[in-house]
Structure 1
Amino acid sequence: MDFTSHMLSLAWKFPRAAGYVVQAHRKCSAWVASLSPDVRKRIRGVLRGVGGAAVSVTRFTENVYIHVISYPNCPPTKWSQPSRFVLVPLAHLILFFQPVVADWEGDIKDGKVLFVANKSVWGLEMPAMHSVIYLKTGKLVRFQIDPLHFKLPLWKHILEYFGAVQSSPSIYPELMGAGHTMVWFPSSVIGEHSDSGIEGDIAHMYPMDTSDGSAVTPGAEFAVWALDSGYAIVPVANIGMSDMLPVRFHLSLEPIYTASNIVTRVLPSSLTSFLPHSSSHKKPTLPIVLPRSYERQYMRFASPARTDGPFRKLLESEYEVTQSPRVRRTGRPSISVSTPRLATTLSTRTLYAIDANLLYLRELRDADPRRHVLAPVWNAGRRLGQCVLGMERKMKGGEKLVRRHSAKALRAMAGWVDVEDQAANQKMMTEKADELKSKALDRPRSMPERPRSGVESLVESGFVDFMEPSPVW
């Protein structure tokens, strides 16, 4: 009966598809009717066995999935922080692979703190941010993510173990009422700028006051929660992830969501609970990033803006002086300031603080010589290569020197005819040396002839006979 009703509902939802299914059923029926009774009987048995096995596997998988997802059944407000023996090594390990330059402007003395930060690509800076906050305050912050993560077994349990909660409008007031440390990414910061590769460019996204100041502007919800629960707001600015993983283009997920909606309408709800569903107020896209470098992350935690007790009165007096028309006209403060007005002012101040700290972090990043994490490794490798190259050059020079001395030694050994008959060789060499010496002594000297003078030439020719020729030198 359930199967029949399900098929009828499908036929009602997809009238055209129902006609094609009916035609296909008629053709299959005609083909089966042409078969012999024995073959038809075997086909029915096989189909019944396959159908029964499929139903059994589906029911077993569904029961296992339901039990695994529902465990542990603990409300978010009853969550307890994991042991420090787990969190401290994990935090140091995360910061080892994702180095962070953190700057704190003020101290956090109370655990009732709401961190308001800008978000980067896919929220990949969140593990490092949580590690920095935990090592500074000893508190693991709670955060919210898309409900799709909580439909995946094991991944859902890991997220819940570390304090993640599903996105819900009422979850933050409940957790802040229980005193948990929270982190919030405003819509004016999370929106399109979170995945566009432009970190923290939110100056034109500031909320604007309404005409009467009675309504909370979009993006200022966190200020209302902080004022109602007495939480201190800490603006957090972080950059670096978009430099390391810039977004190249956005991949539209509309085809996937469309197919998911069709499958959801075709299959029972128990089998499609984990499929994503698109919403009418947003266009689902997936940012595609390409790694460009390996850089440090820079974070700056501004001074906390307290909202409890006398600090709220200071906020009210500040709003009265700067915003209230009655004060500007008469100089007297008004009786009371509503929470939405204070929330609007507080959210504006928070986002301005984030924007100012982003400018500071950009200057710090540009002036940091250790911005690139692998720069020391690169320099060490380059120096090692230079050392190896210098050693090769020195080795080549040493080889030349060895070859030179080897050649000299071979030339010295070239006269040794017989090493064993050293005396004969010495005698032969002595005789040769004496022979060469005697030849050199018996050789007549050939001196250059001195040129004759004019008188000597006349005497020799007989023209002048009264002079004897001078002896030749």
Structure 2
Amino acid sequence: MREINKLSPRVKQNMYKALEIISDISIKSVDQMRKVYPSVMKIGTKPIEEWKQPHTIILHPLAYFVTFWFPVKDQWDSIENGDRIVYVGNQQVYGLGTLSFVAAVYFKTGKLVRVVTEGFHFTIPVWKHVLEYLGAIDATRVNAIDLACQSGHTILIYPGGIKEFFKKAHTQKYDLDFKEKHLLAVTRILQTYEYSAVPFGNVGASDMVKVLFNVPVNPQDMQKTVPIIMPVSYQRQYIHFGKPISSKDLGRPVYLPLIVGCTNSRDGALERQKREGEARYLLQTLHKGVVLIQGYFLRDDGFIVQTGKAGQRAIKQTAVSGAKQVLQYFQEGPKIEQIS
């Protein structure tokens, strides 16, 4: 403030004029964006029932790209290649694992799953258009799911909803906290549109991150929070697909077979992950190097400490070995690992 007071009146006047111009431009830009935004959001938008699966030339490279960076092992109790399938299972924090799931189903059945997701995704330009092109469905749109079902499209529904997407730090990674209204929506699809539900369990992606804490998004409602996450490892994902459930298999309560199927599938995926042990870690040597470095440098008291010569040699050897494994991993190319 003292520096500003030292300026001449003419310089101060010019500064104030510049600030007024910047403020005026900002206000006009915001007003212009408000006018343009609706038009931009309408570009390329088609009725849900008219969606067509993109060509294999586009989907195959995308699926390979996803499975290259996020390898997945999938196990199927029964393969359903036909139409009118709704996949039901657990969602991981921030939807991690969804891309691998979609890629696994595509490689196995040739179908691109239409993911039913939250409405806020469709308020972001470009991202909204990408999602719509890949078949995503806005859960907040009236009759959106019904329109997709009338066309016989393959659908993915997360009964846990946004609560699973924004998972809290104190909750278990793979708890099935399903909402009754979402389970009832699935049973209605089975009964009304003659669909079959395939329960699944998807694990692995949530083990790659740690939820540090949750931040409230609305001061007036402290229950609505978003998680702050930190990467902690790089692991393979495991998906277990259960046996299909039709409307005749529904019980009392009507959605009980869905809960049982999803629970068994999740347990099957966790058992597969546990059985593989450390083999699930991708670039194992690099992972061990990270753990070693954390052990030497990151202490509970938060202080950084110096390592001895032995520690430095160990870190150097691990880094060299990890670099070699990274090079080998990229040279071998993508591996689609599936369990029949």
The one-letter amino acid paired with 2:154 is T
**Which of 224, 231, 235 is residue 291 of structure 1 equivalent to?**
231
Match of 1:366 in 2: 274
Structure 1 pair 147/384, CA: closer, same or farther in 2 (3 Å)? closer
Give the SS at the match of 1:153.
coil
Supply the RMSD in Å over aligned alpha carbons: 3.3
For the pair 1:242 / 2:221, whether they are aligned, the reply is: no
Match of 1:404 in 2: none
**Which of 30, 33, 44 is residue 72 of structure 1 equivalent to?**
44
Give the SS at the match of 1:233.
strand
Higher RCO (CA-CA < 8 Å; seq separation 6+):
2
**Within 2, Cα distance between the matches of 1:292 and 1:50?**
43
Task: Give, in angstroms, the shift of residue 157 of structure 1.
Answer: 0.9
Match of 2:147 in 1: 174
Instruction: Tell me the number of residue pairs that the alignment of Structure 1 and Structure 2 aligns.
Output: 274
**Within 1, Cα distance between the matches of 2:99 and 2:164?**
21
Give the SS at the match of 2:88.
strand
Match of 1:252 in 2: 216
**Within 2, Cα distance between the matches of 1:235 and 1:194?**
22
TM-score, normalization by structure 2: 0.71
Deviations 1:279-312 (A, max 9, x none): x8x93211111211111111001111233xxxx3
**Within 1, Cα distance between the matches of 2:20 and 2:282?**
63
Task: Give, in angstroms, the shift of residue 367 of structure 1.
Answer: 1.8
**Aligned residue runs from structure 1 range 348-427, under 5 A:** 348-369=256-277, 370-375=279-284, 382=318
Counterpart contact for 1:102–1:132, Cα < 8 Å: yes
Give the SS at the match of 1:219.
helix
Task: Give, in angstroms, the shift of residue 359 of structure 1.
Answer: 2.0
Task: Give, in angstroms, the shift of residue 86 of structure 1.
Answer: 0.9
Match of 1:104 in 2: 76
**Aligned residue runs from structure 1 range 42-441, under 5 A:** 57-168=29-140, 170-187=143-160, 191=163, 195-196=167-168, 198-202=172-176, 219-255=183-219, 283-307=223-247, 312=248, 315=249, 344-345=253-254, 347-369=255-277, 370-375=279-284, 382=318
**Within 2, Cα distance between the matches of 1:286 and 1:48?**
37
Structure 1 pair 170/367, CA: closer, same or farther in 2 (3 Å)? same
**Within 2, Cα distance between the matches of 1:218 and 1:68?**
31
**Within 1, Cα distance between the matches of 2:45 and 2:179?**
39
**Within 2, Cα distance between the matches of 1:384 and 1:221?**
53
**Within 2, Cα distance between the matches of 1:363 and 1:117?**
16
Higher strand share: 2
TM-score, normalization by structure 1: 0.52
Match of 1:452 in 2: none
Deviations 1:298-328 (A, max 9, x none): 1001111233xxxx3xx48xx5xxxxxxxxx
Deviations 1:54-99 (A, max 9, x none): 6754553333322211112411111111111111111111011111
Counterpart contact for 2:116–2:158, Cα < 8 Å: no
The one-letter amino acid paired with 2:224 is P
**Within 2, Cα distance between the matches of 1:73 and 1:174?**
15
**Within 1, Cα distance between the matches of 2:21 and 2:214?**
46
Counterpart contact for 1:226–1:233, Cα < 8 Å: yes
Structure 1 pair 252/194, CA: closer, same or farther in 2 (3 Å)? closer
Match of 2:336 in 1: none
Task: Give, in angstroms, the shift of residue 383 of structure 1.
Answer: 11
Structure of greater Rg: 1
Structure 1 pair 250/83, CA: closer, same or farther in 2 (3 Å)? same
Structure 1 pair 74/132, CA: closer, same or farther in 2 (3 Å)? same
Structure 1 pair 251/77, CA: closer, same or farther in 2 (3 Å)? same
Task: Give, in angstroms, the shift of residue 199 of structure 1.
Answer: 3.3
* Unmatched runs of 5 consecutive residues or more in structure 2: 1-16, 290-316, 322-340
Structure 1 pair 67/116, CA: closer, same or farther in 2 (3 Å)? same
Counterpart contact for 1:193–1:201, Cα < 8 Å: no
Structure 1 pair 61/352, CA: closer, same or farther in 2 (3 Å)? same
**Within 1, Cα distance between the matches of 2:229 and 2:133?**
29
Higher helix share: 1
Task: Give, in angstroms, the shift of residue 147 of structure 1.
Answer: 2.2
* Unmatched runs of 5 consecutive residues or more in structure 1: 1-44, 208-216, 259-279, 320-340, 386-473
Match of 2:302 in 1: none
Deviations 1:120-151 (A, max 9, x none): 10111111101001111111111222222222
Task: Give, in angstroms, the shift of residue 105 of structure 1.
Answer: 0.9
